[in-house]
């Protein structure tokens, strides 16, 4: 600052240098200012802008944090921090900062941006919760929150009245349109819901929750073609918008239209090659339809454009057939040392665990899995005691006397075959075998049973209402729940007389299933305790399954599972069929024959050749069930035996290890 008689002139000189694109000289000038005036916020902001222009986000973050120490409520700095986190694909960190920003700047457009990111992270429920919290805490939106409160309490008519009054004053209120559309959907008024949501989409086409809401309407009403047409309309207006193509792909995935989704994602990356998230989604879609080679190619492209993407490395590992090169392992280990989000770090550790496992370096492999699980365990809320209490409460309620007193459902459909059990217990194999039959449609892990239990919670005005509130339901209401399940799952099936629901966690709801669908077939898949639990321990789950990130939690959950399944077999004798993974591996043909007999299906040879099926598979076992049965999965845990002693001690002599 030698020739400058004031910091103002030095600052103006720096701006002039920036305008001349002499960024390094400008930065030097600004740093001189900060030596004398370390709290000069305008200079800090300019250095941040220069760092961003020089593609140095890490340096920009350093100065953002410096600026926030001076002014913690700086909207400008928080917005810049969010943009950098999004650029670095650190969506979890971006969400935290969005929440901070919303407290200072309660803006509905910011709220929608946050909800979009949460939807991308498969946190749709949290997105809804964030919106509700925002509306509750801002008096400007008090009427909207009043409607939400009525809806949550089951006062549907009052909620409708509130939203309609809002729309009389403001016909283009996107949130009122969306919330009224959700009410219409829950009430089965799909035409009205569609009209409301389409209007909202026209007003806010980039609001992801709207697309999720309307895709549900289309799925429930069987109007899959309309979902495509509505997206076609937007793309006709803006055909070179890469993000719209990516959103289109995501909607098509939700509707199980994988080949069309591949086309959409491919268009996205052709318009904007630097789209790691789209490449990742493309890889998932290829994996689902069994194109392993293209899946690998897409994941590697995702890494190319985002070298810090733990999710991309884990996706390669999760193929179960991919072998990492020495360079890739070194790259992952180096990335672990860099500034990445906890979630990316967890997925990298799981990928490294798999990489060393393939190399038969089981000691290092277990170390990586353990570190990944430990970090993930700290990120999730889970209590083994709460789970045991829930299991015991369910067992206590569904006793023989209560089951006899429950109203009988008139929904006698034979269509559904429920395959349930713990994750990694062989359920995908059983699903693939039965789905290969000409009379059975394979679907996916359908959430409908759990959604219906939430409806009972809403009717009983609280989470404690399920399952107790079942005793208050009439025969018509019980029957209607069964019919609703059948209707709501039609979108996922074809024309076959039977279909499979492979949601593993439905084991908790067998009593509910047998109440509303008395003729449903239920298949309980069992694998040895140690193989099941360790297979879960080395699996990073995209969402849910919070009990799998700690060996003690896993062992206790397995014991709870055995406890409730023994109870269900006692309450519904000879109505639940248990398939043991070891028996299916050692005596495949006889086990398949018995399985088909239970399902009242004639034997078909293609069930023995299930691995030739071309149907989409959306689980971690996707690649494994496309191969003939192999025995290497039996007692695989013994490769890690010394490290698994604490888990083994949790199982008594009555549990098959």
Cβ atoms of 228 and 256 within 8 Å: the answer is no
Report yes or no on 511 lying in a domain.
Answer: yes
Report yes or no on 642 lying in a domain.
Answer: yes
Report yes or no on 101 lying in a domain.
Answer: no
Catalogue the long-range contacts made by 570-573 (C-beta closer than 8 Å, 24 or more residues apart): 571/398, 571/399, 571/400, 571/403, 571/511, 572/510, 572/514, 572/522
Mean pLDDT throughout 442-468?
Answer: 82
Most confident segment among 7-16, 228-237, 398-407: 398-407
Classify residue 455 as exposed, middle or buried by CB count within 10 Å of its CB (0-12, 13-18, 19+).
Answer: middle
H helix count then E strand count, the chain: 33, 5
Q: Calculate the dihedral angle through the C-alpha atoms of 109, 110, 114, 115, rounding to the nearest 10 degrees.
A: -20
CATH no. for residue 40?
Answer: 1.25.40.10
CATH no. for residue 612?
Answer: 3.40.50.300
pLDDT at 230: 67
> Could you report the per-residue pLDDT of 178-207, keeping only the tens digit for each?
999 999 988 888 889 999 998 998 888 878
Q: What's the domain count of the chain?
A: 2
The domain in which residue 541 lies consists of 414-648
Mean pLDDT throughout 23-51?
Answer: 87
pLDDT at 430: 93
Percentage of the chain exceeding pLDDT 70: 92
Confidence of residue 255 (pLDDT cuts 50, 70, 90): confident
Above 50 in pLDDT, residue 461?
yes
The region of weakest confidence among 117-121, 319-323, 384-388 is: 117-121
Strand ranges across the sheet with 440-441: 440-441, 498-501, 416-421, 521-526, 576-580
Mean pLDDT throughout 308-328?
Answer: 93
Cβ atoms of 525 and 585 within 8 Å: the answer is no
Percentage of the chain exceeding pLDDT 90: 52
Report yes or no on 343 lying in a domain.
Answer: no
**Element (DSSP H or E) covering residue 103:** helix 91-104
More confident residue, 50 or 620: 50
The region of weakest confidence among 63-72, 271-280, 302-311, 487-496 is: 487-496
Domain ends where: 72, 92, 108? 72
Report yes or no on 455 lying in a domain.
Answer: yes
Mean pLDDT throughout 278-284?
Answer: 95
Most confident segment among 60-69, 241-250, 557-566: 557-566
493: cis peptide before it, omega within 30°? no
Q: What is the mean pLDDT of the chain?
A: 87
Confidence of residue 622 (pLDDT cuts 50, 70, 90): very low
More confident residue, 116 or 200: 200
pLDDT at 630: 63
DSSP string, 193-204: HHHHHHHHHHH-
Report yes or no on 195 lying in a domain.
Answer: no
pLDDT at 222: 62
151 vs 179: CA distance, rounded Å: 9
pLDDT at 4: 45
Domain ends where: 72, 91, 111? 72
Mean pLDDT throughout 7-27?
Answer: 82
pLDDT at 628: 60
Above 60 in pLDDT, residue 320?
yes
pLDDT at 416: 96
pLDDT at 627: 59
Report yes or no on 572 lying in a domain.
Answer: yes
Report yes or no on 597 lying in a domain.
Answer: yes
Above 70 in pLDDT, residue 243?
yes
Output the pTM of the full model. Answer: 0.71
Structure tokens belonging to residue 44? 């800090």
The region of weakest confidence among 141-145, 265-269, 522-526, 551-555 is: 141-145
More confident residue, 454 or 532: 532
Question: Residue 651: helix, strand or coil by DSSP?
Answer: coil
pLDDT at 234: 63
Domain ends where: 48, 72, 96? 72
> Could you report the per-residue pLDDT of 477-507, keeping only the tens digit for each?
999 999 999 988 887 888 999 999 999 999 9
The region of weakest confidence among 113-122, 176-185, 389-398, 507-516 is: 113-122
Question: Residue 522: helix, strand or coil by DSSP?
Answer: strand
**Element (DSSP H or E) covering residue 552:** helix 551-571
């Amino acid at each position: 600052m030698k020739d400058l008689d004031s910091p103002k002139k030095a600052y103006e000189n720096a701006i002039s240098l920036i305008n001349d694109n002499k960024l390094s000289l400008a930065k030097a000038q600004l740093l001189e200012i900060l030596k004398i005036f370390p709290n000069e916020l305008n200079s800090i902001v300019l250095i941040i802008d220069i760092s961003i222009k020089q593609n140095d986000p890490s340096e920009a973050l350093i100065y953002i944090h410096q600026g926030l120490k001076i002014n913690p409520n700086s909207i400008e700095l928080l917005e810049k921090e969010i943009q950098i986190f999004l650029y670095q694909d650190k969506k979890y960190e971006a969400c935290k900062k969005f929440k901070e920003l919303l407290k200072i700047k309660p803006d509905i457009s910011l709220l929608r941006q946050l909800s979009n990111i949460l939807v991308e992270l498969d946190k749709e429920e949290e997105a809804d919760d964030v919106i509700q919290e925002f509306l509750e805490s801002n008096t400007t939106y008090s009427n909207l929150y009043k409607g939400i409160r009525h809806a949550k309490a089951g006062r549907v008519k009052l909620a409708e009245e509130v939203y309609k009054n809002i729309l009389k004053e403001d016909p283009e209120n996107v949130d009122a349109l969306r919330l009224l559309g959700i009410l219409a959907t829950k009430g089965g008024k799909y035409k009205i819901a569609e009209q409301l949501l389409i209007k909202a989409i026209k007003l806010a086409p980039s609001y992801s929750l709207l697309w999720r809401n309307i895709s549900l309407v289309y799925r429930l009403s069987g109007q899959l073609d309309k979902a495509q047409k509505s997206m076609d309309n937007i793309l006709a207006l803006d055909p070179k918008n890469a993000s719209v193509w990516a959103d289109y792909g995501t909607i098509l995935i939700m509707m199980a239209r994988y080949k069309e989704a591949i086309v959409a994602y491919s268009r996205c990356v052709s318009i904007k090659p630097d789209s790691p998230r789209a490449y990742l989604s493309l890889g998932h879609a290829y994996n689902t339809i069994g194109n392993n080679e293209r899946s690998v190619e897409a994941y590697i492209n995702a890494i190319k454009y985002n070298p810090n993407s733990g999710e991309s490395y884990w996706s390669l590992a999760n193929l179960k057939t991919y072998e990492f090169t020495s360079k890739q392992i070194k790259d992952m280990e180096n990335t672990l040392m860099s500034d990445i989000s906890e979630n990316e770090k967890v997925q990298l550790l799981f990928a490294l665990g798999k990489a060393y496992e393939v190399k038969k370096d089981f000691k290092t492999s277990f170390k990586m899995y353990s570190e990944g699980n430990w970090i993930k365990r700290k990120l999730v809320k889970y209590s083994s005691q709460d789970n045991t209490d829930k299991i015991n409460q369910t067992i206590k309620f569904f006793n023989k006397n209560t089951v006899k007193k429950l109203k009988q459902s008139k929904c006698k459909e034979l269509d559904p075959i429920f395959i349930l059990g713990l994750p990694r217990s062989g359920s995908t194999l059983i699903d693939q075998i039965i789905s290969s039959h000409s009379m059975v449609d394979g679907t996916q892990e359908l959430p409908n049973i759990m959604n219906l239990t939430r409806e009972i919670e809403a009717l009983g005005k609280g989470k404690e209402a399920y399952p107790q509130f079942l005793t208050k339901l009439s025969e018509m209401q019980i029957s209607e729940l069964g019919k609703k399940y059948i209707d709501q799952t039609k979108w996922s099936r074809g024309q076959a007389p039977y279909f499979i629901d492979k949601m593993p966690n439905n084991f908790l709801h067998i009593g509910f299933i047998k109440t509303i669908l008395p003729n449903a077939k239920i298949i309980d898949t069992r694998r040895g305790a140690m193989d099941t639990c360790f297979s879960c321990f080395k699996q990073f789950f995209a969402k849910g399954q919070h009990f799998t990130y700690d060996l003690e939690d896993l062992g206790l959950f397995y014991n709870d599972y055995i406890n409730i399944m023994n109870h269900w077999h006692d309450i519904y004798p000879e109505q639940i069929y248990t398939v043991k993974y070891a028996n299916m591996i050692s005596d495949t043909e006889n086990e398949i024959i018995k399985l088909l007999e239970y399902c009242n299906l004639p034997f078909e040879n293609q069930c023995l050749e299930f691995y030739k099926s071309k149907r989409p598979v959306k689980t971690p076992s996707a690649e494994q069930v496309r191969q003939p049965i192999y025995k290497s999965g039996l007692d695989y845990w013994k490769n890690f035996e010394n490290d698994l002693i604490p888990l083994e001690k949790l199982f008594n002599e009555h549990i098959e290890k």
